[in-house]
């Protein structure tokens, strides 16, 4: 069914393929940039991925003005402010983010600070409220999950209040996303599994949440097919670059989808688990996804049932049975990943203590994602899901 009204936007140039990274300096030229601030983290440096980036600049005319490799696992407002200061102090003209969601979101935060001419990211909180065009920004994801390379959202940790802040704006899109399987080959199995489940969560929530539209639906379905066909292979055969490229594309497609249809209770709870208990985002999503889907069956059972065929679920029975089968297929994938790489399937296994559940539920109810969830998510509803997932 066509919604009464919808908007869709994806202005990101996508470059996907083996050796795609080699085009990075050329793309900088297209953006009239030549001095890059490369933002990464210690993991990227340790895996030798930064060297790959440095090599492609050789003889290109463009240069790396500086490397910032101190991005923490959860990007924070203070780190984003520091990156912005480095960018301004060294007169850089382009951000190149090499890393996972934390690195990409840090650059989005820094780009906001630079472009809006402020010194503190906290002054720019809000949804769809940025005014100035961003600086050139090229994203090179090294994990296949967040889809941040094609989204208008950034999730950044507030160091003072210990909450995850969501920023959304059409000015947060990178200009270019480069998907090169060589950049994701080094991700360890458990991180590959968690980030892959993050991508699956994006696609599934995008498909049934309130801002869904026919264009975002098509991206979501394509993403789910790729995840179901390639995630387990990526985890068990980490150097399979065909599967890696497929998963990178799955994450990107899911990112385009959810950036235009938003996500719901699963993400609200996962953000809160991250903020309160430091559970990695992909791990929290993997645990909470089946419970979040189940909690929405009463409202959008027929839509969830539509996902059965692409999830490889049993498609017999009435609509409600088919919806539960779709949830079962997600649960079965999570169980397979637990067997092959130890991905947790309960919050308890992920290190959450029962006494933290109230705080997680309370935090989740203030997450912007609950607005787009089909079912009402108040404190009791959030807590009920958490208890089931515990």
Partner 1 sequence: MQALSVGYRVKRLVVRMVLLALGTAFEQVSKRVRELGDEIARWEDGRTFAVGVLPDGPTIALRKEGSRIRYLGEGDHGAPLRILFKNLEAALPLLLGRAGSHVAFARHSAVVQGNVAEAAEANRAMVIVQQYLFPEFILRKILKRRPTPTGRQRWIKIQILAGLFPAMALTYKR
Interacting residues with partner 1 (CB under 8 A):
4-7, 125-129, 163, 165-167, 210-211, 262, 299, 365-368, 370-372, 374-376
**DSSP codes joined into one string, 275-329:** HHH---HHHHHHHHHHHHHHHTHHHHHHHHHHTHHHHT----S-HHHHHHHHHHH
Nearer to partner 1, 158 or 345 (CB): 158
Residues paired with residue 153 on neighbouring β-strands, in sequence order: 168
Nearer to partner 1, 205 or 367 (CB): 367
Q: How far is the CB of 122 from partner 1 (least distance, A)?
A: 9
Nearer to partner 1, 143 or 365 (CB): 365
**DSSP codes joined into one string, 8-58:** -----EEEESTTGGGGHHHHHHHTT--EEEEE--HHHHHTTHHHHHHHHTT
Q: How far is the CB of 129 from partner 1 (least distance, A)?
A: 5
Q: How far is the CB of 53 from partner 1 (least distance, A)?
A: 33
Q: How far is the CB of 128 from partner 1 (least distance, A)?
A: 4
Burial class (CB in 10 A: 0-12, 13-18, 19+), 229: middle
Q: How far is the CB of 175 from partner 1 (least distance, A)?
A: 22
Sequence-distant (6+) residues with CB within 8 A of 201 are: 263, 266, 267, 270, 285, 286, 289
Nearer to partner 1, 148 or 365 (CB): 365
Nearer to partner 1, 50 or 377 (CB): 377
Q: How far is the CB of 76 from partner 1 (least distance, A)?
A: 16
Rounded to a whole number of angstroms, the CA Rg of the chain reads 20
Sequence-distant (6+) residues with CB within 8 A of 77 are: 109, 120, 121, 122, 156, 157, 158, 159, 165
Residue holding tokens 């950049």?
A: 183
CA distance 310 to 132: 40
Nearer to partner 1, 351 or 368 (CB): 368
Nearer to partner 1, 121 or 245 (CB): 121
Q: How far is the CB of 287 from partner 1 (least distance, A)?
A: 23
């Amino acid at each position: 069914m066509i919604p009464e009204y919808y908007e869709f936007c994806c202005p990101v140039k996508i470059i996907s393929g083996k050796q795609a990274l080699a085009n990075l300096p050329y793309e900088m030229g297209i953006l009239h940039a030549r001095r890059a601030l490369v933002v990464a983290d210690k993991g990227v440096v340790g895996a030798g991925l930064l060297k790959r980036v440095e090599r492609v600049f050789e003889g290109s005319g463009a240069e790396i003005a500086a490397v910032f490799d101190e991005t923490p696992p959860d990007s924070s407002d203070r780190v984003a402010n520091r990156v912005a200061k480095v960018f301004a102090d060294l007169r850089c003209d382009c951000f190149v983010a090499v890393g996972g969601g934390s690195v990409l979101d840090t650059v989005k935060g820094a780009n906001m600070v630079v472009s809006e001419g402020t010194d503190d990211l906290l002054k720019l909180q809000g949804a769809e409220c940025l005014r100035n065009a961003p600086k050139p920004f090229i994203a090179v994801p090294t994990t296949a999950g967040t889809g941040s390379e094609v989204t208008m959202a950034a999730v950044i940790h507030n160091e003072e209040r210990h909450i995850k802040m969501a920023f959304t704006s059409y000015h947060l899109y990178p200009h270019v996303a480069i998907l090169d399987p060589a950049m994701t080959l080094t991700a360890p199995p458990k991180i590959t599994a968690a980030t892959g489940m993050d991508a699956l969560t994006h696609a599934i929530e995008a498909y049934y949440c309130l801002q869904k539209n026919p264009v975002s639906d098509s991206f979501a379905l394509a993403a789910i097919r790729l995840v179901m066909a390639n995630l387990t292979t990526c985890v068990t055969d980490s150097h399979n670059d065909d599967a890696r490229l497929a998963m990178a594309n799955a994450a990107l497609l899911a990112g385009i989808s959810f950036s235009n249809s938003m996500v719901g209770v699963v993400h609200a709870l996962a953000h809160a688990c991250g903020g309160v208990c430091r559970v990695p985002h992909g791990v929290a999503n993997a645990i909470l996804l089946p419970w979040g889907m189940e909690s929405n069956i009463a409202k959008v059972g027929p839509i969830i049932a539509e996902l059965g065929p692409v999830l490889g679920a049993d498609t017999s029975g009435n609509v409600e049975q088919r919806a539960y089968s779709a949830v079962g297929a997600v649960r079965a994938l999570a169980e397979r990943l637990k067997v092959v790489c130890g991905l947790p399937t309960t919050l308890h296994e992920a290190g959450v203590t029962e006494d933290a559940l109230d705080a997680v539920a309370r935090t989740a109810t203030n997450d912007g994602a609950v607005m787009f969830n089909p079912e009402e998510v108040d404190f009791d509803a959030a807590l009920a899901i958490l208890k089931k997932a515990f």
